Structure formats: structure tokens, C-alpha cells
Amino acid sequence: MMKMRDKIVKRIVEVSKIEQSRKKRLISFIPQFAFFIIFIPIILFVIPYFLFDKWFELDKIHLHSGIYFLISVLALTGWAFAVWSIVVQYKFGNGTPIPVMATQKMVVKKPFSICRNPMALGTIIFYVCIGILIGSVSAIVMSIIFAMILLTYIKVIEEKELEIRFGQDYVDYKKKTPFLFPKWF
């Protein structure tokens, strides 16, 4: 396991050293957008809602309209937090969320000063809330599985890669900034 991780981290570090033009970074958002707005939702929501819920005969979750409103606000907040992270990463880090066009500078300003992984936090909140809003138990479970996979990747691969790329600055940042849950929690 460790050798595989080291190979992956080494490759990501090599690729991340290649500085990409602003135009190329902007264009790279097209497949990223398609992946996170089309592909992932199909896996997390469409398939669970139309297949798994029926196969396992799971009832649709029905909540009070006030709860739906609160969950909608939470979903939009998660989405906004993730988008804010992407914009800051692009603007100040000269990179994108994908490792092949990684940031060239370490970003520690908000939202990255609030927690080390605001994009992941926002995305997880958004996806889980969407599962709740569509009333699908299996979509909620799939969103939680997605969250566990994403957070494992960040902890095992991405943090090691960032330590190599940014050295002691990242180690110090890691010590003072929470992994996922913002300082105010």
C-alpha cells in the first residue's frame, strides 16, 4: 500500500511542477465541470434513486417543508463554499482542483484558513443534502461513501503530495488549520 501511495504521490508532484497557462487552466474546467456536475451526480443520485431504491424497496424520505427549506439552504451553502474554494485556488494559487493542473502557490487565505479542505467540505455537504432533498436513502448512502473515498484520498495521497511540494510551510499550516471542520465548530 505504501509503495503504491509513494508512486502516485511522486507522479502527482512531477506533473504539478508543470506550469499551465491561464487559458489552459480555464479550459480544464470544462471536463472538471462535466465530471462533478454530470458524472458524479448520475452515480450518486440517478442510479441510486431509480435503481437501488426500487431494488431494495426503500421508501422515499418525506420531510416537513420547513426542513426541506433548511436542507436547501445548507445545500446552497455547501455549493457556495466549494465554488469559493475553486475560485480562490484558481486566482491565488494559479491552479485548479485537479492534480494535473495543481496550484503553483500554496493558498492559505479564506476559505483555506478556515479549514484545509473547504472544497471537499462544501461538496460533501452539497451532495448529502441533494440526497436528502430527493428523498433517496441509497443516494444519501452513496454520498457518504463518496465522502469517505474523497477524504481517504485527501488524507493518504493529497496531504503527502502537498508536504513534498510546499515543505515546512504546509506542515505548519496543517498543524494550525483543521482538516475538514472549520475552526468555529
pLDDT of residue 163: 93
Q: Are 88 and 105 in contact (CB under 8 A)?
A: no
Residue 27 has pLDDT above 90, yes or no: no
pLDDT of residue 30: 77
Which has the higher per-residue pLDDT, 174 or 182?
174
Band of pLDDT at residue 136, cut at 50, 70 and 90: very high
Q: Are 124 and 147 in contact (CB under 8 A)?
A: yes
Residue 65 has pLDDT above 70, yes or no: yes
pLDDT of residue 43: 84
Over range 133-159, report the average pLDDT: 94
Residue 1 has pLDDT above 80, yes or no: no
> Cα 33 to chain center, whole Å?
12
CATH, range 64-185: 1.20.120.1630
pLDDT of residue 81: 95
pLDDT of residue 167: 94
For residue 111, is the peptide bond before it cis, meaning its omega torsion is within 30 degrees of 0?
yes
Over range 23-27, report the average pLDDT: 71
Band of pLDDT at residue 72, cut at 50, 70 and 90: very high
pLDDT of residue 159: 94
Band of pLDDT at residue 178, cut at 50, 70 and 90: very high
- Residue range 76-92, pLDDT digits in tens: 999 999 999 999 998 89
Residue 22 has pLDDT above 90, yes or no: no
pTM: 0.83
pLDDT of residue 173: 96
Residue 37 has pLDDT above 90, yes or no: no
Cell digits of residue 122: 462544501
Q: Are 152 and 90 in contact (CB under 8 A)?
A: no
Residue 185 has pLDDT above 60, yes or no: no
Residue 14: CA count within 13 A, CB half-sphere: 6
- Furthest-apart CA atoms within the chain: distance in Å: 52
